[in-house]
Structure 1
Amino acid sequence: MYFQKVAACFLLFLVICSFSGCTEKDQYSNEMNSAGGSLAGESSEDENTDLNEQVYNATLKKTAILSLDNGYSLKVLEINKKEEFIRVSFRKDEQEYNTKKMLSGQSYDIKDQNNQNTVYSIHVDRILDNSFMVELTYTLKPAIFQEVTPVKTAPRNEVKTKIDMETVTRTYIWGYEDYEFSMECEYDKDAYKVYSQRSRNRDYSQFVTDSYDDEFISQITEQLEDMAHDANLGDEEIPYVAMMFVQSLPYISDSVSSGYDEYPRFPFETLYDGGGDCEDSSILLASLLYDMGYGVSLIELPGHMAVGVKGNNGISGSYYDYAGTKYYYLETTNSGWAVGEIPDDFTEAQAKIVPIYGGYPELNLKFSGDTLSDGYQTYVNLDIELENVGSAIAEDVVIYTTLETSTEGRIWDQLQSDTISSLNVEEGIEYSVSNLKVPAGERYRVRIMAWGTNTDPASVYSDWVVG
């Protein structure tokens, strides 16, 4: 067997954003649509300016309970200065669901009671010399704290296109309240080609947190914030400017733009194409809001996708309660939808909520192979490709290859690889296995699994065949 690392090679893309600012439009109505409830009360300037993650500090003694968000809390069970650790009980609605030993100087992502998604993070800053107190820093996602309803009069939405030899320039025009915004972006064609070669076989959330889009998304959000400030809009209205921007993009089906029935796009691709379908616009808006520091989720519905945005009790409308967090529904495929307003077709539909908490590694396996037989044994040779399609480094990865019998739990042959210490984002491994054996004439199938210390397992199977 042998390993060969295949490094991902991505071209730098040039994005030039220029903005004409905002122009007041007298023809727009000042009347606001109500989503079925009153607006949140006015907030002070200080309350409106923090659009990033909420970071707090706390000094706790043994047995102290720290109340967090959405019914979550923690209790300090033990403080050990000599060995530099604390032991903590994690609680939801005053009921313990997990405990953990935490080392001084380390950071930890704390999952919900279902052990599925991260709800907050903790950094153990230091244990005081007397061993009676510990200093912590903990981070929460902010909630959208004011409801702003889109304009009743439909804005002028338009995407203008200029195509040169090496670049494509898009000018996006959209409206919010009494203002019209425009934004011009220049995209490199070669960068788009590189994106088109990337795997689509990854979790939807990976498209939102894709590390290759980070700088690009930050450029867009910074310009959206600047335009909102130029229009004398408050910080609390910036996410709504972003929402109206995404809602203004035209709907383009996957079959028209890519030739595939399902083809999720990275945010760069959606803006390069000048639009997309529901999953593309939802991924784009979730990426923008997440970069601004808001708590967001993807909402998967039968044949449809939308965004869930974390909000407080000041927002009216429909929401999904996931692990104690309210995610208000946001439609992304057309202008005029308010936060909490669900299309009639989906009011009774079963929804899957996928919170966006940050990047994580994700393994993807492919293989091909051939066989040789001497009449007594069949020898199986395999070429395996393993790629980290996630948005964080995969650590201590192992590949396990078996030839399974038709009796559950039994195998003809097996081989485990050496440990791969790390696999970077978009990095691949080519791995060969030779001469796995199965008796001639016996039924078998190939099963390959891969896992790391910080990844979920991935697996792939062949069809059943006779050796």
Structure 2
Amino acid sequence: MFTILVSGCLGALTVPSENDLPAAPSAPPVAATQAPYPPTNKPYLERNVIIEVKRIDANTVAVTNAGGADASSLMGLWLNVNIRGYVFPSSGRVTSQAGSTAYYPVPEGSHITITGEFPDCNANLWVGYTSTATPAPTQAPAYYPTPGTTQAPSQTGDYYSRSYKWSFSGYDYTWDLTISKDAYDFYKSRPHNRQSNYAMYAMSDYDRTYLRSLVDKLNEASERDGFSEYESVMMVIAFVQSLPYTSDSVTTGYDEYPRYPIETLVDNGGDCEDTSILTAALLYEMGYGVVLISPPEHMAVGIKGGDNVYGTYWTYEGSKYFYVETTGEGYGIGQIPPEYEDSTAKIYPMQQLPDFDITFTTTYVSSDFYYVYYKVHCDVSNIGTGVAKNVNVYIAALALTQGTDRVWTPDHTITIGDIGEGGTAWAEATIRVPRGETSQIECIVYGDNFAPEIVKSNTFNT
């Protein structure tokens, strides 16, 4: 054991032997401004003066000012070396510049005195001893993308069988459909959020096989019976209008439960949202421009039409979309129920919308003189529709005591890449928080074609 005496802000500091010491930190505490979309280089917020003393070998110690400000007139970091009663003075008065390191020969058991003037000296002055052990590192961020673990539902095994009957233009039609229970369960397990863009339910990647099969059957019947293009579209509308109207609360137990097309087909009907989503999906698969039109407390479809189409329409991005009612039989294109004639409406364009669910765990790793280290494991799942492009995960510890939007460095951005619909991935990184601080872990997933999702832990103290 040897002793460091510090004059100025701190009193005598007794340093234990190396075996009693924690692993050395890789750097003194700093904080950075956060810019997570994506994070950019951040200005450091550093403590004033940090003096570290590290034994290099049995005869040498290194004295480092690891802070962000100079410690001037340190009396040369005056070293009185006491060996067998003989005192060896140090070699003069120096200034310890920020980031500088000085080496001194000091045999084991020596008495070391450090005196000096520390400008703006306050509680932010740190004097520490670090051992020769390898510094506790901040681990390199890692990830393991697993898009596909829950992607395409199986089409083998048990099936639901459904038979549909409807009439149009003097013809009676019957269509038998088998749908994999795995496919139905896949969509049943997806989030059903009425606050989202309803059009996303019509745009899933994994029900196209079933929708394509139905469209092919409808096109074959239209061609066989000599229907015009307008009549072919009306035949699809008539099929959906023939499905029974069922409320969400009766069939699902929820007041509002937007269904994917597969769910509506297996459940043999739904409310206005469900039949509109199914109609839009079928017409989109046939190659028509469609949107969802939502007057107050209602949902319908808009099909893109030109000057030769008549009736009620809404204009969206310079095109006319004619109203299509899906819950009552007999309504044609452009015919709207009287209660909605003068209503304003929301327009939902057909587009895939990746969306993410984030969960994360934080595990204590270790601690040293300056820091407490935590491993953060973040799981992300694409619960929306379509492929999420250029997915990144940002992991940081918020520096809550240092001001708004600051994080403790190092923060991490982990690039995962594309994640398919239903796909999952995870990212890991080790963060560090200075002792005596209040912090919060933040995980953000962001990319090219979806809105960022942010989750935070509860606040904690180190």
Is the TM value for this pair above 0.5?
Answer: yes
| Match in the other structure for 2:94 | none
* 1:12 is the counterpart of 2:154: yes
1:294 to 288, 294, 313: 288
Q: Does 1:187 align with 2:179?
A: yes
Q: Equivalents in 2 of 1:231, 1:271: separation in Å?
A: 25
Displacement after TM superposition at 1:218 (Å): 0.9
Matches within 5 A, 1:285-434: 285-356=279-350, 359=352, 362-370=354-362, 382-404=376-398, 405=400, 407-412=403-408, 415-434=411-430
Decide whether aligned partners of structure 1 residues 9 and 293 sit closer, same or farther in structure 2, where only a CA change above 3 A counts: closer
Unaligned runs of 5+ in 2: 1-140
Q: 1:450 aligns with which of 414, 426, 445?
A: 445
Per-residue deviation, 1:350: 3.7
Contact preservation (8 Å) 1:380, 1:435: yes
Aligned residue pairs: how many? 313
Contact 2:394 2:414 (8 Å CA) reproduced:
no
Would you say the 8 A contact 1:306–1:329 is kept in 2?
yes
Question: Pick from 144, 148, 160: which aligns with 1:168?
Answer: 160
1:465 Cα deviation (Å)?
3.5
Equivalent residue for 2:223? 229
Give the CA deviation at 1:380: 5.7
CA distance, structure 2, for counterparts of residue 368 and residue 218 of structure 1: 39
Offset, 1:216: 1.2
**Could you tell me whether the CA contact under 8 Å between 1:368 and 1:383 is conserved in 2?**
yes
Bigger mean CA deviation after superposition, 391-400 or 261-270: 391-400
* Change over 3 Å in CA distance of 1:179–1:426 after alignment to 2: same
> Hey, what does 1:256 align to over in structure 2?
250
CA contact 2:211–2:282 (8 Å) conserved in 1: yes
| RMSD of Structure 2 on Structure 1 (CA) | 3.1
TM-score by length of 2: 0.60
Looking at structure 2, the residues matched to 338 and 436 of structure 1 have their Cα atoms a distance apart, in angstroms, of 64
Greater fraction of residues in strand: 1
Instruction: Give the aligned residue type for 1:304.
Output: H
C-alpha contact 1:447 1:459 (8 A) present in aligned 2? no
Contact 1:363–1:386 at 8 Å: present in 2 too? Answer: no
Partners of 1:380 and 1:344 lie apart in 2 by: 62
Deviation at 1:293, TM superposition (A): 0.8
Partner SS for 1:4: strand
Shift of the alpha carbon at 1:322? 1.2
Question: In the TM superposition, what is the alpha-carbon distance from 1:353 to its structure 2 partner?
Answer: 1.1
Identity of aligned residues (%): 32
Q: CA deviation at 1:11?
A: 3.8
Matches within 5 A, 1:72-111: none
CA shift in 2, pair 1:415/1:306, >3 Å: farther
- Shift in Å, 1:260: 2.8
CA distance 1:365–1:186, shift in 2 (3 Å): closer
Q: Which amino acid aligns with 1:191?
A: A
Q: Secondary structure at the match of 1:417?
A: strand
Query: TM-score, structure 1 length as denominator?
Result: 0.59
1:217 aligned onto 2:211: yes
SS in 1 for 2:308: coil
Counterparts of 1:408 and 1:353, CA distance in 2: 38
How far apart, in 2, do the equivalents of 1:392 and 1:11 lie? 14
C-alpha distance in 2, partners of 1:363/1:166?
30
Distance, in Å, in 1 between the alignment partners of 2:442 and 2:357 is 11
Query: What is the CA–CA distance in structure 2 between the aligned matches of 1:308 and 1:319, rounded to whole Å?
Result: 7
In the superposition, relative to structure 1, how do residues 466 and 261 fare at CA in structure 2: closer, same or farther (>3 Å)? farther
Q: Name the amino acid aligned to 1:429.
A: A
Q: Which shifted more, 211-220 or 261-270?
A: 261-270
Question: 1:180-223: CA deviations, max 9, x gaps?
Answer: 22211122323322332234466433321211111211110110
Residue identity matched to 1:333: T
Distance (whole Å) between structure 2 residues aligned to residue 337 and residue 384 of structure 1:
50
Gaps of 5+ in 1: 15-164
Which letter does structure 2 place at the counterpart of 1:451?
A: Y
Contact 1:307–1:332 (Cα < 8 Å) also in 2: yes
Q: Which amino acid aligns with 2:446?
A: W
Call closer, same or farther: CA 1:320–1:369 in 2, change over 3 Å. Answer: same
Q: Distance in 1 between matches of 2:433 and 2:252?
A: 42
Query: How far did 1:413 drift?
Result: 5.4
Give the letter for the 2:169 counterpart: E
Give the conservation status (yes or no) of the 8 Å contact 1:449–1:457.
no
Evaluate the alpha carbon distance shift between residue 399 and residue 177 of structure 1 in structure 2; reply closer, same or farther with a 3 A threshold. Answer: same
**CA positional deviation for 1:332:** 1.4
Larger radius of gyration: 2
Amino acid at match of 1:181: Y
Distance 2:324 2:372 in 1: 56
Tell me if 1:240 matches 2:234: yes
CA distance in 1, matches of 2:330, 2:374: 59
In structure 2, give the amino acid aligned to 1:177. Answer: S
Q: CA 1:433–1:341 in structure 2 vs 1: closer, same or farther (change >3 Å)? A: farther
Distance in 2, Cα, partners of 1:447 & 1:345: 48
Q: Which moved more, 1:224-233 or 1:192-201?
A: 192-201
